[in-house]
Amino acid sequence: MKFYFKKYMLFVVALSLVSLPIELLVTQAYAQEGASKSKNIKKVSYQKNQARKDKLKASQLAWSEQRAKDLGEHYDGSSLPQLASDKVLVVSQNTGEIKYAKNSNIVSPIASITKLMTAMVVLDARQPFDEIIDISEQDVDTIKGTSSRLGLGTQLSRGDMFRLALMSSENRAAFSLARHYPGGRSAFVKAMNVKALALGLTNSNFAEPTGLMYQNTSTAEDLYKLVAASYQYPEIRNATTTPFYHLSISGRANPVEFKNTNVLVRDGEWDIGLSKTGFINEAGRCLVMQTTMAGEPIIMIFLNADGTNKRTGDANRIRKWVEYNHAHELIANQGIVNQKVVHPKLVMSGQIYQN
């Protein structure tokens, strides 16, 4: 019996020794299979992440390229500029020479360009700039529902309201200026239209002091006259070319920073003497400026562009075009190069306003 038991035990031990490597192999096989699956999962995950990164990079590249195109960064000024704005007028301030015109006699909404007329009416009234005026319910925008950092009850000097209305295009500030005009807002709007007629703006209409209503309308030609007239007021030149303005407002712990709505003013790379932007859906993106290019004072009007970068790009393209032509005119006059300079023949529908 003992003999058979020993043989059985030897058999069991032998079988165990034989099966042990098999179990190890099976375990190793399972481990390798798991590692392979894990590796594949990581590979797929990496590929998905890389695909997402590539897609994001392509999207950012496309956005960057479109932005550069909108801003006119690739344009060198050697050809007639293709502008995004629907109505354009570019005129030499000294001579009245038309540099560029496009649909310049078509009437359209002008949005916050209106505030240049508002500013002139305020200044013509000779009300003290140090007088404190307030923001009330009557100054809240019920036309477009725009917001404002000038809360109800805010009290500021007329001078500060004036600056904010122009540089930061604060609608409540413009409404407040009109409300504190002798006779109130209705008298103010009447004065705006009287001023328009006095300046020869025969195709312009003003319905309120902010530009929020699409009934504030004009043409690029009339706006040239408006900018030329506004430029005669130092207060308007100063306010519209202020890049940033810090103001202490009651109820706020720290001074509030207001910035100019024109990025070209904020960047400080242009010689800008007057600036105003505007936007409502009906008017598109608008920009008017007085600036100096190649030593020549220029007034530029851009109306109804379909993007902020595009109206800025239009200004950039005009600048490059004017400077390119100026440089090549100098070279031609020196007899170095006999190169024809592009000067398209453009016709105004009316007389250019000149001082």
115 part of the active site = yes
pLDDT, position 354: 34
Closest alpha carbon to 308 in 161, 169, 118, 150: 169
Q: Which of 108, 168, 169, 230 is catalytic?
A: 169
The answer to whether position 3 is within a domain reads: no
38 part of the active site = no
- For the ranges 30-34, 93-97, 225-229, 323-327, the lowest mean pLDDT is seen at 30-34
Q: Which of 85, 104, 108, 112 is catalytic?
A: 112
Closest alpha carbon to 191 in 124, 112, 278: 124
Report yes or no on whether pTM surpasses 0.95.
no
Is the pLDDT confidence value at 158 over 80?
yes
Q: Which of 87, 115, 195, 276 is catalytic?
A: 115
56 pLDDT band, cuts 50/70/90, is: confident
Token pair, residue 118, equals 């508002």
Range of the domain at 252: 71-333
The answer to whether position 20 is within a domain reads: no
The answer to whether position 283 is within a domain reads: yes
64 part of the active site = no
The answer to whether position 187 is within a domain reads: yes
The answer to whether position 275 is within a domain reads: yes
The answer to whether position 352 is within a domain reads: no
CATH number at residue 88: 3.40.710.10
pLDDT, position 28: 65
Beta strands in 43-110 (DSSP E): 87-92, 98-102, 108-109
Is the pLDDT confidence value at 284 over 90?
yes
